[in-house]
Amino acid sequence: MERVNGNPLDVAALADFAATAQPTVSVAEASRIGGFGTSTGYAAIARGDFPFQTIKVGGKVRVVTASIVRVLSGQAEPTSPAPASALAAA
pLDDT tens digits along 50-62? 999 999 988 899 9
d(CA 83, CA 89): 10
Task: Please state the pTM of the whole predicted model.
Answer: 0.72
Four-CA torsion 40, 41, 44, 48, nearest 10 degrees: -170
What band does 7 get if pLDDT is binned at 50, 70 and 90?
Answer: low
Res 5 pLDDT > 90? no
pLDDT tens digits along 37-52? 999 999 999 999 999 9
Res 85 pLDDT > 90? no
